[in-house]
Amino acid sequence: MRSVEEQQARVAAAAVAPRPVRVAIAESQGLMCAEEVVTERPMPGFDQAAIDGYAVRSVDVLSVGDGAGEISLPVMGAIEAGARTPSRLQPRQAARVQTGAPMPTLADAVLPLRWTDGGESRVRILRSVRSGAYVRRTGDDVQPGDVAVRAGTIIGPAQVGLLAAVGRDRVLVHPRPRLCVMCVGGELVDVSRSPGTGQVYDVNSYALAAAGRDAGAEVNRVGIISTDPRELRETVEGQVNRNEIVVIAGAVGGAAAESVRTVLAELGEMEVARIAMHPGSVQGFGQLGRDRVPVFLLPANPVSALVVFEVMVRPLIRLSLGKRQPMRRVVQARTLAPISSVAGRTGYLRGQLMRDQDTGEYLVQALGGAPGASTHLLATLAEANCLVVIPSEVDEVRTGETVDVAFLAQRG
């Protein structure tokens, strides 16, 4: 039986980022930048007011507060943000300016409105201001030749804003890996149909497709596929040729799985192994087609399939996206009730993570993890906000003991 860490290492070794593509910056969020974005012009491109007020020469108001009496200056006009006509300030004059307005020539500071009486034709000065105050100088943010966004940076809201600020409408990124989800099983029917005797709804293709989108992949949900050898080969081969990752649920265990593995063996290397984890111990992984595309074979049980996806497939998607930390955040929490696990296998049990408001301590309540409870209840997985990770050498966790807990995506 192979350890979880050994299987994860085999999977991670197959990670390949898709070739970079150029996309609109509005579509780049969450993707990894694949180029050094070098600015061609300064930002801001001109001296501008950083606050509503009056543009002045600082030397004209230095004596305010020094016992020299009241100072007032004539207002030569108003300059709005976006004004394109150059203006010039004469000595001992002021100009009313809006935030973002270009500074008039000779002005070197902006007096905030609250430091004046707000006059329109003449303004009374209540405080002095130093040179450069409340002015954004040309190139304060970025100078020509500066790198605005570095290759390898995950593009977030700030990076999108910076790309727009330096005049880039498109950027080269590593795109989302394309993930295909398929299911096999003679008992399966799509949710659009009513199941007959012995039939069940296809849960896996919908749940796993959602898990793939949550991980950041571009998902193609194929749904239920035929196990006829010729049709199966054509379907899988076609999907391997157009995706970076392929997931087939229901392809381990049973006669249908045997026929699936026989067909897949014709397309490349595929291994079904027993991994020291539960649920989802029996699973398959290989690389098929001329491009050696990673292909996963997952159990038919929806909970087991989702857990295997979380532990094995999701990290591969995150690596393909260029994430430096592909695994979920893990914290330590104190158990609120006993938890049983399977000796010799790492347990991934769903739970509800809470935090003590007084102490800040994490607390966890296992769902379906009490001794004798089933590990295959999909309803409890829907209620979970974490996975409780039980080491392989532990088969029983007592109330009050500390365990590792992996955060799942936040709901709401």
pLDDT band for 174, please (50, 70, 90 cuts).
Answer: confident
Confidence (pLDDT) at 65? 64
For 298-355, how does the pLDDT look when each residue is reduced to its tens digit (9 = 90+)?
998 998 999 999 999 999 999 888 777 888 889 999 999 999 999 899 999 989 999 9
Q: Which amino acid is at 38?
A: V
pLDDT tens for each residue of 267-294: 999 999 999 999 999 999 999 999 899 9
Checking if the pLDDT of 367 tops 50, the result is: yes
Span 69-98, average pLDDT: 89
- When pLDDT is averaged across residues 122-151 and rounded to a whole number, the result is 89
- Record the tokens describing residue 166, joined without a space: 């330096």
- Who wins on pLDDT, 68 or 238? 238
pLDDT, tens digit, 9 for 90 and up, residues 67-80: 556 788 999 999 99
